[in-house]
């Protein structure tokens, strides 16, 4: 009952706001006007002036009026130029949380949530928040131990409001996809579903607690980074108790210089730290805007707000490494192949045009020179390529591009002449050395052999399954029997070709590994493997020639 009431209340609010900003057609197409009394859909006396604004400006104004859920959605997609018109993303970038203060009795809230007497743990608690956000408010406090902390407290009924908004968003997305071809093309419903997962993660303070602890573990040996302390006994899913970071906002250049910090060094360390998060740890801060990064008075970099993190599997890191390698080597075909491996959907109608687009990225690198490489410009060009070629990637790709753009923006504010390649170069060299090493070649070869072995192992079952399907369908059997000899001989040659490939790869690995026993300094097993491969190759060629003659 409560959910329905919330949904109705929010539907009335949404209808009112849509009407206010001249989107009555959405209301009529959604049949909201048949459900909600006309008195709730207010006429806007300034509608002519409102409608004189661009549709994108009106969308941004409507989102701002609709509150935290919609603002979060707008902010999340403000950098998705690959998905949305650039005019719209420019407007979405203007969205601010602008969350007002909600009065709460902090001590009472803590006592109720944590089942404790706050006076037993806290020396003092500010009743007025020093920071507000759409989901939570942040209060300063001091523990009995003398430690300064912050209390991040979730807003009352924010969960219910967001859940109601999500239900309505899904309904509106379905309606708009039926009503608007562009909405269907960008898969609006899927966008809302992606956002739903993101905001549920952000709503979980226990998840954020775990994120902080994972981040601390990753950087426990790094003296350049400080991760604030957490207080588990004073935290739950609605309250997070964290150490208060005393420091300077990373883009406050005058304060940094007054403390004697070298802003170029701060920029270099911050950028390098982000590269470590991505390429070493596979776990990175997904929203590194200036308000979320501080420099402590000891000169350490300190991130805050761990609500959303990017997670990478080992294969994801390997793809990113390949991308960097082929970008620096300017190998368009291999770079495109890497993008294809990463992509969820890949629908490229003109492969040659895609190669030309990729060469434009290489031109950006040439024009700027490696020392002045502009990663933000490269990611912007990549987004254009994604949009033109209908290529969709996993969420982590978009989070990473956003994170890199934010970090590079901070770096260039601290030092307009920052040498990004100087930061990337050690990682690029390490990647290239790793991929050229005998050990890497050996491991990759073993993996390929395992894949081939699994393929060969599955092949009899696959053929048996195919034969079984043919037997079950008499019509198909009569059709297939006409070419059964050709199929059988082709399968025979295919099996031999796969074995030949496996032997060749295995022999190459054995030779590279320099494994004894040897004859004339050549590993015996590798030599035997190549010899067998040679005879098998000759056999395949001869059998193909015989088959061609017999078919003439």
* Domains of the chain by residue range: 2-96+162-199, 99-161+200-244, 246-435, 438-550
Count how many residues are written for the chain.
552
Give the tens place of pLDDT for each residue, 445-466. Answer: 777 777 776 776 777 777 777 6
Do residues 284 and 218 make contact, with C-beta atoms less than 8 angstroms apart? Answer: no
Mean pLDDT, rounded, for 531-537: 68
Question: 56-65, 138-147, 523-532 — which is least confidently predicted?
Answer: 523-532
DSSP 350: -
Overall CATH class of domain 99-161+200-244:
alpha beta
> Rounded mean pLDDT of 325-330?
85
Q: Please, are residues 474 and 525 in contact by the beta-carbon 8 Å criterion? A: no
Structure tokens at 39: 């008195």
The residue-averaged pLDDT of 47-51 equals: 72
Classify residue 351 by burial, with Cβ atoms within 10 Å: 0-12, 13-18, 19+. Answer: exposed
CA-CA distances (angstroms) from residue 225 to 176, 220, 294, 302? 46, 9, 10, 6
DSSP labels for 238-281? Answer: SEEEEEPP-EEETT-HHHHHHTT--HHHHHHHHHHHHHIIIIII
- Contact partners, residue 380, CB within 8 Å, separation at least 6: 81
User: Which tens digits make up the pLDDT trace of 196-246?
Assistant: 998 999 999 999 999 999 999 999 999 999 999 999 999 999 999 999 999
pLDDT tens per residue across span 286-319 = 999 999 999 999 999 999 999 999 999 999 999 9
Band (474; pLDDT cuts 50, 70, 90): very low
**Are residues 229 and 242 in contact, defined by beta-carbon separation less than 8 angstroms?**
yes
Alpha-carbon distance of 126 to 139, in angstroms, equals 6
Q: What is the DSSP string of 432-457?
A: HHHHHSHHHHHHHHHHHHHHHHHHHH
pLDDT score for 49: 74
Between helix 420-436 and helix 263-275 the angle, nearest 10°, is 30
Q: How far apart are CA 357 and CA 355, in angstroms?
A: 5
Count other C-beta atoms under 10 Å from residue 145's C-beta: 8
Question: Which pLDDT score is estimated for 309?
Answer: 95
Least confident of 390-394, 455-459, 520-524: 520-524
Candidates 31, 28, 35; CA nearest to 12 is 35
Average the pLDDT over 10-32 and give the result.
Answer: 72
Which residues lie closer than 8 Å to 480 by C-beta, 6 or more apart? Answer: 470, 487
pLDDT 10s digits, 69-127: 888 888 888 888 777 888 888 898 888 766 678 889 999 999 999 999 999 999 999 99
Which tokens go with 252? 């406050």
For Cα atoms 72, 76, 78, give the angle at the middle one, nearest 5 degrees: 115
DSSP string computed for 81-136: TTTS-HHHHHHHTT-----------HHHHHHHHHTS-GGGTEEEE-SS-SEE-SSE
Question: For strand 309-311 and strand 293-296, is the pairing parallel, antiparallel, or unpaired?
Answer: unpaired
Residue 358 in tokens: 């990729």
Q: With 50 as the cut, is the pLDDT of residue 481 above it? A: no
Where is pLDDT greater, at 534 or 218? 218
CA distances for 56 relative to 29, 405, 548, angstroms:
20, 23, 65
The Cα–Cα gap between 331 and 323 comes to 10
- Using 50, 70 and 90 to split pLDDT, how confident is the model at 489? low
Longest Cα–Cα distance of the chain, Å, equals: 97
Between 535 and 370, the more confident residue is: 535
Predicted confidence at residue 438, as pLDDT, reads 81
**pLDDT digit string (tens) for 151-197?**
999 998 899 889 988 988 888 888 777 777 766 777 788 888 888 99
Q: Which two tokens stand for residue 9?
A: 């209340």
Tokens matching residue 245: 């970071």
Across the chain, mean pLDDT equals 81
- Non-local (6+) Cβ contacts of 277 within 8 A are 218, 283, 284, 285
Neighbour tally for 298: CB within 10 Å = 10
Question: What is the reported pLDDT for 258?
Answer: 96
Site of tokens 């008499």:
474
| 233: Cβ contacts below 8 Å, ≥ 6 apart | none
First-to-last C-alpha distance (Å) of the chain: 79
CA distance 254 to 297: 14
């Amino acid at each position: 009952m409560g959910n329905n009431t919330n949904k109705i209340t929010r539907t009335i609010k949404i209808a009112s706001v849509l009407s206010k900003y001249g989107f009555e057609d959405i209301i009529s197409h959604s049949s909201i006007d048949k459900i909600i009394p006309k008195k709730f859909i207010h006429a806007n006396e300034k509608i002519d002036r409102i409608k004189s604004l661009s549709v994108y400006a009106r969308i941004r104004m409507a989102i701002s009026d609709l509150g935290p859920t919609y603002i979060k959605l707008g902010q999340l997609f403000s950098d998705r130029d690959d998905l949305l018109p650039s005019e719209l993303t420019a407007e979405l970038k203007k969205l601010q949380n602008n969350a007002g203060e909600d009065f709460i009795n902090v001590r009472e809230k803590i006592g109720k949530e944590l089942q404790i007497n706050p006076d037993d743990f806290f020396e003092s608690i500010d009743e007025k928040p020093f920071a507000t956000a759409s989901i939570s408010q942040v209060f300063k406090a001091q523990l009995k131990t003398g430690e300064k902390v912050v209390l991040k407290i979730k807003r009352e009924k924010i969960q219910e409001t967001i859940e109601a908004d999500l239900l309505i968003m899904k309904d509106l997305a379905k309606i708009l996809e039926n009503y608007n071809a562009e909405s269907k093309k960008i898969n609006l419903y899927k966008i809302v579903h992606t956002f739903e997962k993101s905001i549920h993660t952000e709503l979980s303070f226990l998840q954020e607690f775990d994120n902080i602890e994972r981040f601390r573990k990753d950087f426990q040996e790094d003296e350049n980074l400080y991760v604030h302390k957490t207080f588990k006994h004073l935290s739950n899913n609605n309250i997070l108790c964290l150490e208060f970071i005393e420091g300077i906002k990373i883009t406050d250049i005058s304060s940094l210089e007054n403390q004697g910090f070298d802003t170029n060094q701060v920029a270099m360390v911050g950028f390098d730290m982000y590269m470590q998060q991505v390429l070493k740890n596979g776990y990175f801060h997904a929203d590194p805007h200036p308000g979320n990064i501080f420099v402590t008075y000891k000169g350490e970099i300190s991130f805050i707000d761990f609500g959303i993190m990017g997670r990478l599997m080992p294969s994801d890191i390997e793809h990113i490494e390949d991308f960097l390698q082929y970008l620096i080597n300017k190998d368009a075909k291999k770079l495109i192949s890497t993008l294809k491996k990463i992509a969820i959907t890949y629908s490229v109608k003109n492969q040659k045009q895609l190669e030309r687009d990729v060469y434009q990225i290489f031109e950006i690198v040439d024009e700027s020179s490696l020392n002045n490489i502009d990663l933000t410009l490269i990611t912007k060009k990549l987004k254009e390529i994604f949009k033109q070629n209908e290529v969709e990637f996993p969420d982590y790709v978009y989070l990473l591009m956003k994170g890199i753009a934010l970090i590079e923006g901070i770096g260039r504010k601290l030092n307009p002449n920052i040498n990004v390649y100087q930061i990337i170069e050690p990682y690029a060299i390490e990647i290239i050395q790793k991929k050229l090493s005998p050990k890497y070649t050996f491991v990759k070869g073993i993996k390929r052999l395992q894949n081939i072995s699994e393929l060969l192992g599955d092949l009899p079952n696959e053929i048996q399954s195919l034969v079984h399907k043919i037997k079950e369908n008499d019509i198909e059997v009569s059709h297939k029997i006409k070419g059964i000899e050709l199929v059988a001989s082709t399968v025979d040659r295919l099996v031999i070709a796969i074995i030949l490939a496996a032997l060749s790869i295995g022999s190459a690995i054995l030779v590279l590994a320099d494994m004894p026993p040897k004859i004339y300094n050549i590993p015996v097993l590798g030599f035997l493997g190549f010899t067998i491969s040679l005879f098998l190759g000759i056999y395949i060629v001869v059998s193909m020639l015989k088959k061609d003659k017999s078919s003439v």
